[in-house]
Amino acid sequence: MNGDRFTVTYRLRCDRAQVEARAEAVALEQSVELPAAAVTDHRVRDDVMGRVLAIRQRDEREFDVDIALAEETVGRDAGQFLNMLFGNTSLQDDAVLVDVTVGATFAARFGGPRFGIAGLRELAGVRGRALSCAALKPQGLPPAALALLAGTLARSGIDIIKDDHGLADQSAAPFAQRVTACQRAIEEAQSVSGSRALYAPSITGSLEDMRRQLGVAREQGVRVALIAPMISGVSNLATLACDAGVALIAHPALAGAARILPPLLLGKLFRLFGADATIFPHAGGRFGYTLADCAGIADAARHPWHGLAATMPVPAGGMSVERVHGMREFYGDEAMFLIGGSLLLAGDALAARCRAFVDAVAAPYAHQDSRHD
Amino acid sequence: MNGDRFTVTYRLRCDRAQVEARAEAVALEQSVELPAAAVTDHRVRDDVMGRVLAIRQRDEREFDVDIALAEETVGRDAGQFLNMLFGNTSLQDDAVLVDVTVGATFAARFGGPRFGIAGLRELAGVRGRALSCAALKPQGLPPAALALLAGTLARSGIDIIKDDHGLADQSAAPFAQRVTACQRAIEEAQSVSGSRALYAPSITGSLEDMRRQLGVAREQGVRVALIAPMISGVSNLATLACDAGVALIAHPALAGAARILPPLLLGKLFRLFGADATIFPHAGGRFGYTLADCAGIADAARHPWHGLAATMPVPAGGMSVERVHGMREFYGDEAMFLIGGSLLLAGDALAARCRAFVDAVAAPYAHQDSRHD
């Protein structure tokens, strides 16, 4: 309760004549949720009520508005942070959540990735090159079929083999059976091929469900898990980052594309709340993200930020072996490249296709991209 | 694994020439997440892969597409249901999630509201009229100030007194202190005024946090709680609906306005997952919902649906005493009307303003609205 603030940027669509009133309204909506006249307590007015700091015109009817909100309104909860950033304003379709700037002490409340890029590299035994990632799918296959696929991927040299985010605790492949079978297949591949592949099962449901699943998985030797924070709730992500003892790969399911800018949500916020890696659709695949979105996500995930560990960017979403070179040029090698369906289309040539992927990720290559000089 | 399906409707923006391919792509994205050619397992093709049932043109470049997805892909988890409805497709900005139709057995997996309209009426001791609801705010006030407000609202005859959704576990009013003080103030009001007011504290954080908070609240005699399912995660809502033993009022924070149609998310899905009441912005307040959205939410919350209890519609979002008559005309009296900031603007006349609200809710009135004949 020391009056410390964080700064939120909203993009508002409205007329020039209305923008000041609209900015004030957002500042109230995201703090006291009252007309200013109804806030009679002096401490609340001074220390808690949102405050408009700046308005920048971007276009005839588009403005970026900086608003200072009080750190004390968040407590230590990730969900409450999201609530104060965009809870009610998400219901107003003239507003987009663009960015937030927080201080080091505030960032330390959440702690960020516990493994991060360095920890994932350590687990996977990979230095000096990017990581490769592939997915177990389709949903509906029995555990034995998924395990067969996992073994092939591991023997072909893929670093991280994750469940499709559609795999949950389903009758076709119940969690415990699936995870046991896939982890065993990957360990067998390790013993015959020298692979150090890691299996990342998808955890779903309530926090209690996810804890149960993680218990089973850890018992089988699993060290990494996939979680969709916008479905599971970011408070549960932050809780598991604190104490689950496995590296967490965030999946963007339900994260939308427009109302919260992807660099903020999938880069900065997921990192703050403890995601060790963040999957997002690379431009030009099946999803509508631009190259600017993608560069923004990678930067937010990796740039130095209050001493928080870096989050591994995982571009994905309709990628192919042919695109690896371009992705390396764009992201550099402090990244993990995820190819899903395109590998499986190879049918009987799956193993060869995987090795081409692994080779493309590891090929000597002099990066031209100035962002990675 | 019997091939049973639910039907999802998506609204797609694209050219006529592309709509069939686009619909197929959504059917694959929301099921196997693979090109159809890569799905070689016959059972998966027959029982699991999404299937386009119908395409209806709405406009030159707007189509409603019905897609059948397999019940087995959901298991019994609310979050996984949301994932299969819109996980990846939420990242494609040409698609809106419009509706879902499920069978009775599937609906029974979730169970719907455990209290519902009837249970809330029973708890509040209210029959034959709508309920009134007001909010404790602003955040930043100490427990004693919030409790003072709670007492005034209760003595003035408000039925349900809820925390502002911005109240969490914050230093200015830590959860246990706030809830103890407010519940005591309301009980004192009950003993002097014959009020049967119920206090609904806001629960936040991870499932474990919310369980701890509910433990404290129940010990103080609290029977109702406020939860924001899009922040907390719908799986946690469904889990608490199962076993928390309190009525749950859903708050729409972070629910957005455009990508999942409000009648589906705030009406149908929150009901399915166990919300006993659902708060939403009535048209003409601070938010962009239309009258059609609002009618749709109320209908989805209340209409007979596979034997699930009805969810209480709670229109809100910038309402005033003057608008109660119109809201009664629109929603009928099987509703709870929520007025927040407008009451608090009355300052010293708060109690009188509350009584005017209570009187407007209870005034004899012959409904004209054909939906409630």
For A257, the closest of B70, B92, B232 (CB atoms) is B92
Residues of B in contact with A252 (CB under 8 A): 91
- Which of B234, B229, B330, B338 minimizes the C-alpha distance to B286? B338
Testing the interface with B: which of A24, A49, A139 to mutate, by most B Cβ within 10 A? Answer: A139
pLDDT at A23 over 90: yes
Shortest distance, CA A128 to any CA of chain B (angstroms): 31
Supply the pLDDT for residue B58.
Answer: 97
B6-42 pLDDT, tens digit each? 999 999 999 999 999 999 999 999 999 999 999 999 9
Q: Do B206 and A235 touch (CB under 8 A)?
A: yes
Q: Do B34 and A344 touch (CB under 8 A)?
A: yes
C-alpha–C-alpha distance, residues A240 and A115, integer Å: 12
Beta bridge mates, A124: none
B81-97 pLDDT, tens digit each? 999 999 999 998 899 99
pLDDT at B258 over 80: no
Supply the pLDDT for residue B368.
Answer: 53
Over range B201-217, report the average pLDDT. Answer: 98
Higher pLDDT, A341 or B315: B315
Over range B221-242, report the average pLDDT. Answer: 96
Q: Do B83 and A168 touch (CB under 8 A)?
A: yes
Residues B232, B241: contact at Cβ < 8 Å?
no
Confidence of residue A371 (pLDDT cuts 50, 70, 90): very low
Over range A288-307, report the average pLDDT. Answer: 94
Supply the pLDDT for residue A359.
Answer: 96
Residues A131, A159: contact at Cβ < 8 Å?
yes
Shortest distance, CA A215 to any CA of chain B (angstroms): 16
Confidence of residue A287 (pLDDT cuts 50, 70, 90): confident
For A77, the closest of B34, B209, B286 (CB atoms) is B209
pLDDT at A368 over 60: no
Q: Closest chain B residue to A279 measured between Cα atoms?
A: B88
Q: Do B205 and A140 touch (CB under 8 A)?
A: no
Mean pLDDT across chain B: 94
Residues B237, B273: contact at Cβ < 8 Å?
yes
Confidence of residue A372 (pLDDT cuts 50, 70, 90): very low
Over range B335-364, report the average pLDDT. Answer: 94
Shortest distance, CA A20 to any CA of chain B (angstroms): 16
A199-236 pLDDT, tens digit each? 999 999 999 999 999 999 999 999 999 999 999 999 99
For A168, the closest of B80, B90, B234 (CB atoms) is B80
Supply the pLDDT for residue B370.
Answer: 43
Supply the pLDDT for residue B372.
Answer: 43
Give the lowest-confidence range in A14-18, B259-263, B270-274, B285-289.
Answer: B285-289
Over range A78-86, report the average pLDDT. Answer: 96
Supply the pLDDT for residue A161.
Answer: 97
pTM: predicted TM-score of the whole model, two decimal places:
0.94
Testing the interface with B: which of A46, A169, A236 to mutate, by most B Cβ within 10 A? Answer: A236
Q: Do A87 and B166 touch (CB under 8 A)?
A: yes
For B79, the closest of A39, A164, A231 (CB atoms) is A231
Q: Do A31 and B80 touch (CB under 8 A)?
A: no
Residues of B in contact with A76 (CB under 8 A): 169
B286-329 pLDDT, tens digit each? 887 899 999 999 999 999 999 999 999 999 998 999 999 999 99
Q: Closest chain B residue to A207 measured between Cα atoms?
A: B207
Over range A240-258, report the average pLDDT. Answer: 91
- Would you state the structure tokens that stand for residue A140, as one six-digit string? 């509906």
Q: Closest chain B residue to A316 measured between Cα atoms?
A: B88
Over range B342-346, report the average pLDDT. Answer: 91
pLDDT at B145 over 90: yes
Between chain A and chain B, the number of residue pairs with CB atoms below 8 A apart is 309
Residues A17, A25: contact at Cβ < 8 Å?
no
Over range A34-43, report the average pLDDT. Answer: 94
Residues of A in contact with B164 (CB under 8 A): 33
Q: Listing from the earlier edge strand, what are the strands of the sheet with A247-250?
A: A224-227, A247-250, A277-281, A312-316
ipTM of the predicted assembly exceeds 0.85: yes
Residues of A in contact with B1 (CB under 8 A): 171-172
Q: Closest chain A residue to B232 measured between Cα atoms?
A: A233
Q: Do B35 and A141 touch (CB under 8 A)?
A: no
pLDDT at A61 over 90: yes
pLDDT at B367 over 90: no
- Would you state the structure tokens that stand for residue A14, as one six-digit string? 């409205």
C-alpha–C-alpha distance, residues B270 and B263, integer Å: 10
Give the CA-trace dihedral at B232, B158, B337, B172, to 10 degrees.
-30
Supply the pLDDT for residue A367.
Answer: 58
Shortest distance, CA A39 to any CA of chain B (angstroms): 7
Q: Do B139 and A32 touch (CB under 8 A)?
A: yes
Supply the pLDDT for residue A288.
Answer: 78
Supply the pLDDT for residue A257.
Answer: 65
Tell me the three-class secondary structure of chain A, residue by residue. Answer: CCCCEEEEEEEEECCHHHHHHHHHHHHHHCCCCCCHHHCCCHHHHHHHCCEEEEEEEEECCEEEEEEEEEHHHCCCCHHHHHHHHHCCHHHCCCEEEEEEECCHHHHHHHCCCCCHHHHHHHHHCCCCCCEEEEEECCCCCCHHHHHHHHHHHHHCCCCEEEECCCCCCECCECHHHHHHHHHHHHHHHHHHHCCCCEEECECCCCHHHHHHHHHHHHHCCCCEEEECHHHHCHHHHHHHHHHCCCEEEECCCCCCCCCECHHHHHHHHHHHCCCCEEEEECCCCCCCCCHHHHHHHHHHHHCCCCCCCCCEEEEECCCCHHHHHHHHHHHCCCCEEEECHHHHCCHHHHHHHHHHHHHHHHCCCCCCCHHHC
B153-195 pLDDT, tens digit each? 999 999 999 999 999 999 999 999 999 999 999 999 999 988 8
